[in-house]
Structure 1
Amino acid sequence: MRMARVGVLFDVRVAKRRWARGENTFQRYIGEILEYAGIPFCWLDGPEGLFSEPFDLCVAALTQEGKESEDILLSFAERGGEVIAFGGLDGLGTRLGVREGKVEGPGYTRFPEEDHPLLRYLEAVPWIPLRARLSEVRGTLHSGVPDGPKVGSAVVRLPFGRGGITRWAVDLPSTILQLQQGARPVRKDGKPAPDGSGALDDGILKADDGFALDWEWDRAVTPTGQKYFAIPYGDWWREEIIRSLTTAALDRGLTLPRIDPWPEKANRVAMISLDSDGNQDEHAETTLDLLAECGVSATWCMMEPGYSPKLYSRIREAGHEVAFHFNAYERDGGEWEEREFHRQLAWLRKVAGSSSVVSNKNHYTRFQGWTELFAWCERAGIRSDQTRGPSKRGNVGFLFGTCRPYFPLSWAEEGNRRLDVLEIGFLTQDLDLGSWADSSIIEPFLDRVGQVQGVAHFLFHPIHLHRDEKVRSALRRVVREAKRCGFGFWTGEAIDDWERRRRRLTIQGVSEGGEPIVKGAVAGAVLSVPLPEGAAGLNKRGQVRKWMLTAGVTPAEQGGAR
């Protein structure tokens, strides 16, 4: 059995011209998506690189217009390769006998699978066949609203020579990125909910002022009437990307292995974070007792002036994480300045008696610009951030389209580089407080997070846990229902550590028997190998065989799949 060789074409000549004009190349985010999945690939700076190695699949992320580049892509397909593009390839489409359809604004994609949710897209340019012969058509684009006019197919495949061209109407990497980070920098208040449940126009710049979902069409309602953003669109889109590549590999009798998000015995992860607003020792003591009762660890985000020094030792001794809670909220004496970020962080590291503070979450979810906060974190040695979450009762849930940890991209002036800060967004704050969401959302959140193997991150404030029995009961219910569903509770630091160690693994190939050949060893990491038709022991095409790593031991040395 052979592993498919994947080349990702990101033409740097095109990118540099765009960056010089201040234009973004969010197509670059395909690298983060593939790295998260653990799929091995090689960056190609220009189409010429397609013939430098025997590639099987070419992800055409950013390409040069013109006959020369198009000829190389067609030659690659003619020889048996598969070109997979997410939007673009404008001139190539004309040569293949299709025309571009016109879609105004965002809409929704319906897929044939019964259990597949509708997925929101932000922009789409479908290919409409004229004289082209299509070998695959999948998904229907609806303009504007879920049942809006049909405007084309989500993905089409055109055979060419011994290979083919698979093209998505939606630029999926850019869509995922903009769902997660917003379509533009936060410079003003966001649009409030028409029903009054999400007053984003409060004069406070914050993460959710830049969200890209729709108040009407993207929210569901629990039996109690609680509204919430119900679908992690970006995480489902990620899986469509992986599915597209895997299908192309299997069609060629090849495999495309991946690394699972979590260890073998912890494939569902939940997280509780705590913001120290109020900063009273009695709040912390009540919360410590409650967490001990529940048997879970949490991430404590500390804001100046914090608790008494003795409490930081107690928090750590109980297995919790001490993290930063940057205050940039002017009404509470904060300021949106990097020097203030560093000053407050230096205070925490001093009073907490440790320089190993690695996580942050901003007070009031204060956020502005695009990646200023992430750049400050990078320079200060903060490895992970948790600021991107809801600030209102009516926008709890997956308002940024994801529950998975991810690394963000910078704006055009920095070349859309990946920032070295892992974002772990949260779903809701202080359940059953009255001014916040009620606990009827716990079960649907856990169900959706489990489906996409993300992080079920719930935020509480010790001040409310101390004062309100309903909030304490809500935390108990979160823990009880999460454990019943098989979730384990991790701290932000543990999630960051695992994600970084997992990404250091490299799949170099597979043996004839399907064992992945891996560089590096991370105990508990799970590798998934989809089997092509004709593989030994295959029940059906696409069956997945899983392998677990033991520290210092390759799968082949462990004597078989689990």
Structure 2
Amino acid sequence: MRMARLGVLLDQSEAERRWMYGLNVFAYYIEEILAHAGIPFERVEDISEVESGAFDILIAGLVKDDTVSTSVLWNYVEQGGELVSFASLNALATRLGCIWSERASVGYASFGPYYDKAESIRYLQASPWQPIAAANAYLQEEVGELHRGEQAGAVIGAALQRFQIGDGYFDRWAVDIPATIVGFQQGSSPVLEDGVPALDGSAPINEGILKADDRIEMDWEHDRLYTKTGNPYFAYPYADLWRELFIGRLLRKAVDHGLTLPFVGFWPDGVEHVATISHDSDGNVADDALATLAILEELKIQSTWCMIEPGYSKAMYDQIKQAGHELALHYNALDLDNGVWGSEEFDRQLSFFRQAAAIDRVTSNKNHLTRFEGWGELFEWCEVNAVESDQTRGPSKKGNVGFLFGTCHPYFPVAWSNDRNRIYDVLEIGFLTQDLDLASYWSDSSVIVPFLEAVSKVEGVAHFLVHQAHIGTQETVRNSFRQIVAEARRRGYAIWTAKEINDWERARRKIRITDSKDMKAALELGMPLTAHAVIWNPVADSYAPRAWETMETRYGVRCLKQLLSVTGNVDVK
């Protein structure tokens, strides 16, 4: 099986035209989705490059929706190409015997047996097509249904349609998957004012403090479940589910064409999912720090300590470092603490922390109270200061714990149109909840198992925040902390610091898959690895593995397992 050549069409002239009018081009996020999945691809910036027919699969991320451009794409497919698009290419609708029916801003997609990880998946932007006649010569397959507004809303079209044009095929997702993922992860607009609170009083986010959760795209009624003790939580990592649907379909279609599309696994060999624990040092009480060190030693784990000014003594910092824990920044922009939201203040607090803790490199940051404004300013400040990872995107209230940003995976966020929708060089690692069993202030430990089980289904990161102050003073919090670790270990979680997650994610993304021969990917190692990476090589269902080959299912596709050592050697035993 030859490796498929995958192209992503992002027409530069069309992007410039949209940026001129201040419009976002979140189609660029397709590249982040593919990079996170470890799939090799090539960017195509001019529609004329498609005419060479060099690509086996082409994702039409951004293209001018006119006769000239769509004719080029039609010819590409007709000659045997595999074309994929998201809620676009409406100029082709009539030619394919369909009518572009309506735009839908929000709703739910149901996939039945095609995808069994959720009964319905929330979408944020869709543009379905309806076949004009019952008999359509081009339409080969329809997958899933789009419901308007809510899970039981009116059906407005198929979630995915597959058309045959000549010798090739066109997969059209009615949902704008890249824009939907961005919307869940970062909100649909900058944070400029308070968000809308939950009507049941469980999440009063409109308290006059601008925070990350003032812009979420979840529905208080339709996207929360309740634990056995009655605690509400956002239950569905929708962004991760859309990623899986798209990637799984992409791999399957490559295999159907007799090709393979190898990709890099999320975690090292032997690791399926990761848990991480962070602490925010609010109050900076030395006894609380000692209590935290003691329970971490008891549990035999390392964690990430986010330090707020003025922090601890040098002797305490030395103890934390000697125990192998990560020291991180807890940037404070809270007005009540005389904090300021701005780059100069971020720089000042970071400089103070580096000097006080006697460390040169600060990898991670989490903002105090999840304080957040605007869109990407925080990520810019992190970039300038070489802070490679952020943890600010998490819940600030009891009623919005869970997957309120639709993901449990580390990801690189995208800029707004004023910065040309570039990808920030900052890895976001959001958290699921703060201190559990803290009287009635936060949720209780009944959320632990649902969170861990949901994260494990998508191979993500289960990030729990536990404050030193509550570890030091509340036995209930210490016990819930012990339960988090015990339940995570019972389910095979590796427990890493935020720095370890950041360093691994960056290293695995530097692995370059250049070719595939005899069911093995040809690889180049961009930077040293700390553990063996896994390369998955998709194969047909009929493939009979040889005695020395290991086969597993990934994204619903059978894959051969290949190992890459820390030095770049393959077939590690």
Residue 81 of structure 1 aligns with an amino acid whose one-letter code is G
Within 5 Å, which residues of 2 pair with 1:164-313? 164-313=169-318
1:79 aligns with 2:87: no
**Equivalences for residues 353-372 of structure 1 within 5 A:** 353-372=358-377
Rounded Cα–Cα distance in structure 2 between residues aligned with 1:417 and 1:206: 23
Given candidates 524, 532, 540, the residue that maps to 1:519 is 524
Tell whether the 8 Å contact from 1:253 to 1:533 is kept in structure 2 after alignment: no
Q: Shift in Å at residue 551 of structure 1?
A: 2.5
CA–CA separation in structure 2 for the residues paired with 1:542 and 1:377: 38
Aligned equivalents of 1:534, 1:217: Cα separation in 2: 41
Task: Report if aligned partners of 1:359, 1:492 keep a CA contact under 8 Å in 2.
Answer: yes
Q: Which residue of 2 aligns with 1:450?
A: 456
Equivalent residue for 2:123, pick from 121, 124, 127? 121
Contact 1:266 1:488 in 2 (8 A): yes
* Structure 2 match to 1:9: 9
Q: Deviations over 1:465-510 (max 9, x none)?
A: 1111000101000001001110111111110000000000011121
The alignment status of 1:161 with 2:162, answered yes or no, reads no
Name 2:562's counterpart in structure 1.
547
CA–CA distance in structure 1, aligned partners of residues 350 and 417 of structure 2: 28
Q: Could you tell me which residue of structure 1 aligns to residue 26 of structure 2?
A: 26
How far is the alpha carbon of 1:553 from its aligned partner?
4.2
Paired AA for residue 446 in structure 1 = L
Q: Which TM-score applies when normalising by structure 1?
A: 0.97
Matched, 1:318 2:323: yes
1:438 to 429, 436, 444: 444
Out of 520, 528, 533, the position equivalent to 2:536 is: 528
Q: What is the deviation of 1:84?
A: 0.3
State the partner residue of 2:545: 537
For 2:153 and 2:568, locate their aligned partners in 1 and report how far apart those are by CA, in whole Å: 53
Q: Which residue of 2 aligns with 1:55?
A: 55
Can you list the C-alpha shifts for 1:202-222, whole angstroms capped at 9, x where unaligned? Answer: 000000001111000000001
Quote the Cα distance in structure 2 between the aligned partners of 1:105 and 1:168: 15
In 2, distance between residues paired with 1:101 and 1:508?
42
* Alignment partner, residue 502 of structure 1: 508
Cα offset for 1:552?
A: 2.8
Q: Which amino acid aligns with 1:123?
A: Q
How large is the RMSD of aligned CA atoms in angstroms?
A: 1.5
- What secondary structure, in the 3-state scheme, does the structure 1 residue paired with 2:259 have? coil
1:484 aligns to 2:490 (yes or no): yes
The AA in structure 2 aligned to 1:213 is M
Contact 1:517 1:554 in 2 (8 A): no
Q: How many Å separate the matches in 2 of 1:553 and 1:386?
A: 31
State how far apart, in whole Å, the 1-side matches of 2:106 and 2:542 are.
42
Provide the residue aligned with 1:146 in structure 2.
151
Deviations 1:415-450 (A, max 9, x none): 000000000000000001120010000000000110
Q: Does the 8 A contact of 1:77 with 1:165 survive in 2? A: yes
Residues 558 and 346 from structure 1, CA distance in 2 versus in 1: closer, same or farther, beyond 3 angstroms? closer
Write out aligned runs for 1:101-140 (5 A).
Answer: 101-113=101-113, 115-117=116-118, 118-131=120-133, 132-133=136-137, 134-140=139-145
- Please tell me whether the aligned partners of residues 185 and 239 of structure 2 are also in contact (alpha carbons under 8 angstroms): yes
Deviation at 1:558, TM superposition (A): 4.4
Aligned amino acid, residue 125 of structure 1 = S
- In the other structure, the counterpart of 1:475 is 481
Q: Name the SS for the 1:429 alignment partner.
A: coil
Query: Alignment length, in residue pairs?
Result: 557
Matched, 1:89 2:89: yes
The 3 A distance-change label for structure 1 pair 90 and 54 is: same
Q: One-letter code of the match for 1:88?
A: S
Gaps of 5+ in 2: none
CA apart distance, 1:51: 3.6
Q: Match for 2:46: what amino acid?
A: G
Moved more, 106-115 or 231-240: 106-115
Following TM superposition, by how much is the alpha carbon of 1:332 offset from its aligned partner in structure 2, in angstroms? 1.5
The alpha carbon displacement at 1:394 in A equals 0.1
Moved more, 527-536 or 234-243: 527-536
Measure how far apart 1:173 and its partner are.
0.5
Give 1:552's aligned amino acid: T
- Decide which moves more: 520-529 or 152-161: 520-529
Query: Would you say the 8 A contact 1:268–1:454 is kept in 2?
Result: yes
Among residues 457, 464, 471, which one is paired with 2:470 in the alignment?
464
Counterpart Cα distance in 2 of 1:461 and 1:411: 33
CA–CA distance in 2 between the matches of 1:120 and 1:424? 22
Asked if the contact 2:104/2:127 (under 8 Å) is kept, the reply is no
CA distance in structure 2 between the partners assigned to 1:387 and 1:143 by the alignment = 32
Question: In 2, distance between residues paired with 1:542 and 1:194?
Answer: 42
* 1:115 Cα deviation from its structure 2 partner: 2.6
| Alpha-carbon distance in structure 2 between the residues aligned to 1:542 and 1:42 | 23
1:424 aligns with 2:426: no
Bigger shift: 62-71 or 170-179?
62-71
CA deviation vs aligned residue, 1:375-401 (integer Å, no higher than 9, x gap): 010001110000000000000000000
CA contact (8 A) 1:259 1:525 kept: yes
Percent identical residues: 48
**Kept after mapping to 2: 8 A contact 1:103/1:143:** no
What letter matches 1:18 in structure 2?
Answer: R
Tell me the TM-score normalized by structure 2.
0.95
Q: Distance in 2 between matches of 1:333 and 1:295?
A: 38
CA distance in 1, matches of 2:431, 2:277: 9
SS in 1 for 2:241: helix
Q: Return the letter of the residue paired with 1:310.
A: A
Give deviations 1:218-240, integer Å, cap 9, x for gaps. Answer: 00001100100001000010011
Q: Unmatched 5+ residue regions in structure 1?
A: none
The Cα shift of 1:371 comes to: 0.3
Deviation at 1:257, TM superposition (A): 1.2
Structure 1 range deviating more: 540-549 or 275-284 = 540-549
Once the two structures are superposed, residues 233-289 of structure 1 have per-residue CA deviations (whole angstroms, 9 ceiling, x without a partner) of 000100111012112211111111111110012222000000000011111001000
